[in-house]
Amino acid sequence: MVRRTYVASLWFALFCVPIAYSQEQSTPAKSAETNRGQRTAVSLEQMVIVEEGQLPILISAPHGGLLKIPNVDPRQGVGMEKGPSGFFAGRDGGTEELAKDVIEAIEMQLGRKPYSVISSVDRKYLDPNRPPEIAYEDVDAKPVYDRYHDSMLSHCRSILNEYHSGLLLDIHGQGSKRDTVFRGTSNGKTVSRIREQFGDSAHTGESSLFGLLKEQGWTVFPDPYDGKEQSGFTGGHIVRTYGSHQASGIDAVQLEFGAEYRTKANRKKIAEQLATAVAQYAKLYLRMPEAR
């Protein structure tokens, strides 16, 4: 189903950035001051926060950071295509915080930590959700990009070794529909394993991840779940690289959260609801570690 109303706001939709958060971006004067302070203060470990997990679940959040990469200027995107798979430098405001809340909520509900990779650097300097040739423009940003992707790969391998399948949630923000969360799986491709193992209903039925999220009161798209995913939100480089259509991947879902799901007031509640749905999903589809 194509929603024509979205076409009108397509350009904004593609940008993956909410108006509501534009005020979070710092003024040039402020960022210059911050940049000076950061040259000596920021480590690679702070720029990409990586945690080992004890569950077949991996949380990724590439676009919510605010830090500057030392000695790296903002990307210019000269000669690059703009849009959902090209150049865009706007943040997905609130998603770094939301991802951290989700990790905490999953640990609370399942008693163990998920694996995670979170970028704390501003998308101005680096876009981990792009292939390396268009992700950064300064070689000093390469170690940050490599840490993100080396960690993703190593987490996927650990999960596959131990559990034979797993779930990757790639957390983003979109500015086209405040009340909606869009699913991105390349229309089912990046969740090939669960579909093969449990049938299409595990992806498109009431007990699919998005079915379980709707039960939590979320407005999800596509709904019905077997509809086409929204153009521009069908899943980016991360789910296409680490999805289960790849030999070393796991079932991967990109979640594009509307602004209402990312406000400071709502994030904890949203994280708890997502963790509840993930716990239900895990019971149905994942091999879980023995209870301690």
Q: Minimum distance between the CB of residue 61 and Zn ion, rounded to whole angstroms?
A: 9
Grouping H, G, I as helix, E, B as strand and the rest as coil, residue 155 is helix
Half-sphere exposure of 142 (CA within 13 A, CB side): 4
At 35, which amino acid appears? N
Distance of closest approach, residue 63 Cβ to Zn ion, in angstroms? 4
Cβ nearer to Zn ion, comparing 93 with 211: 93
Q: How far is it between the farthest Cα atoms of the chain? A: 54
Q: How far is the CB of 230 from Zn ion (least distance, A)?
A: 14
25-60: b (≥16 Cβ within 10 Å) or e: eeeeeebeeebeebeeebeeeebbbbeebebbbbbb
- In the complex with Zn ion, the residue whose CB is nearer, 147 or 237, is 237
Q: Are the beta carbons of 77 and 89 closer than 8 angstroms? A: yes
Q: How far is the CB of 280 from Zn ion (least distance, A)?
A: 26
> What torsion, rounded to 10 degrees, do the Cα atoms 67, 148, 234, 180 define?
-40
Looking at the Cβ atoms of 16 and 141, the one nearer to Zn ion is 16
On the CB side of 247, CA atoms within 13 Å amount to 0
> Among residues 14 and 110, whose Cβ is nearest to Zn ion?
14
Select the residue whose beta carbon is closest to Zn ion and give its number: 172
Q: How far is the CB of 118 from Zn ion (least distance, A)?
A: 13
CB 112 within 8 A of CB 132: no
Residues in contact with Zn ion by the rule CB under 5 A: 16, 63, 92, 172
57-61 and 167-173 as β-strands: parallel, antiparallel, unpaired?
parallel
Cβ closest to Zn ion, residue 16 vs residue 105: 16
Pick 211 or 232: Cβ nearer Zn ion: 232
Work out the angle at residue 269's Cα, subtended by the Cα atoms of residues 210 and 181, and round it to the nearest 5 degrees. Answer: 35
Q: Shortest Cβ distance from residue 262 to Zn ion (Å)? A: 11
- Cβ distance 68 to 32 under 8 Å? no
- Least Å from the CB of residue 131 to Zn ion: 15
Which lies closer to Zn ion via its Cβ, residue 171 or residue 277?
A: 171
- Output the smallest distance, CB 175 to Zn ion, in A: 10
How distant, in Å, are the alpha carbons of 47, 120, 131, 144 from that of 67? 7, 6, 21, 12
Q: Which residues of 159-195 are buried (b: 16+ CB within 10 A; e: fewer)?
A: bbeebebbbbbbbbbbbbbbebbbbbbbbbbbbbbbb
Residue 83 or 289: the one with the smaller Cβ distance to Zn ion is 83
Radius of gyration from C-alpha coordinates of the chain: 18
